[in-house]
Every structure is written in structure tokens, then in C-alpha cells.
Amino acid sequence: MTELTTPISDGEIAKLKVGDTVLISGYILCGRDAVLPRIIKMIEEGLDVGCDLRGQVIFHTAVSPAGVGPTSSNKLEIESSMIPLSKAGVKVHLGKGALHPETISALGELNAVYAVIPPVTALLGSKTSEIRVLQFPELGMEALHLIKADKYPAIIAGAQGRSIYE
């Protein structure tokens, strides 16, 4: 079991292989289909998204009183965010579901990985703290959030151009 704490270094990412089990800790970003295209636009316009994206994790989830849990990462707006976010420094895209081979290949070239997390909201509740909204509060639970994660369990599903779904 590999422990990863944000910000995650290039060296730590380069060691990860498909099928590795990891525990993710530290401050991580949360966003899904409504907010990620807006974040990409902010990055393209050179605007500050409210935190340093280098070495970051982005968890594809809403953040609500019901808790957190992965939504499907292969939704158009989410999967298309992965390459531009990786170029901006994001190292781990955390969600669920199979991605297109082209996305997995591009993540490998950018030394970023895709990890899947079981949708275990009740367990993640005790591992989540310090929740705050970073951008677009009008989106409610779909705003860009920053949370503190304590050993979120995940499996590396895409790394070095390889996919667990092959």
C-alpha cells in the first residue's frame, strides 16, 4: 500500500503502476461536470483558481451534506478536463469508470495518473474534514471545493499509458 500526500511529486507518480493500491491524504480538490470546464477556462485565461495545482489531486465528486463519493469520470466534461488539468500540474484524477485509451495515453505522457475509489460515502465521511468552497459557490454542491482527506483508499487504474480496463 503506497501512501500519497499532497502535494505529490513527479518522482512519486513515476513509481506508480496500474493495480497499485494507494492511500491519499492532504488537501485535495473536488469538482465534477458543472465546474471543471469553468476551471479550465480560468486556467486558459491565466486566472488564479485559489490554490496551487502542482502536485494536486482532483476528486470527481460533489460535496454536500450527504458526503462525498465518485461520479463517473468518463462523463464528457470530466474526462476532457484531465489533460488540461494535468498540464497545469494536477497529478492524480480520482473517480470511477473506464476512460478512453487516448486519455490514459495522454496522462502517461504528462506523468499523471487516474485512480478509482470505491463509492463508500459512509466510510469517507470519517476521513474528510476542513471543507471549503474555492470557486463558483453558486454551483452549490457542484462548486470547486477544497477538502482535507485522510487516507482515502484507491486503486491506480491508469498509469504510464497503461489501463486496468485493457
**Residue 134 binding other proteins, by CB under 8 A:** no
22 in Cβ contact with 5 (< 8 Å):
no
Grid cell 506508480 is found at 16
Omega into 101 within 30° of 0, i.e. cis?
no
Q: Pick from 13, 39, 62, 88: which binds other proteins (CB under 8 A)? A: 62
146 with 6: CB under 8 angstroms?
Answer: no
Number of residues that bind other proteins (CB under 8 A): 38
* CB burial readout 98-128, b (16+ within 10 A) else e: bbeeebbbbbbebebbbbbbeeeeeebeebb
Q: Which residue has the cell 471549503?
A: 132
- To other proteins, the closest distance from the beta carbon of 56 in angstroms equals 21
- Residue 72 binds to other proteins (criterion: CB under 8 A): yes
Q: Applying CB under 8 A, which of residues 56, 71, 81, 103 lies at the interface with other proteins?
A: 71
Using CB under 8 A as the binding rule, whether residue 21 contacts other proteins is answered as yes
Nearest of 19, 13, 29 to residue 149 by alpha carbon:
29
Q: Does 118 bind other proteins (CB under 8 A)?
A: yes
Contact flag: residue 123 with other proteins (CB under 8 A)? yes
Residue from 11, 45, 48, 65 that binds other proteins (CB under 8 A)?
A: 65
Under rule CB under 8 A, residue 139 binds other proteins:
yes
Give residues in contact with other proteins (CB under 8 A). 19, 21, 34, 61-62, 64-74, 96-98, 116, 118-123, 125-126, 138-142, 153, 155, 157, 164-165
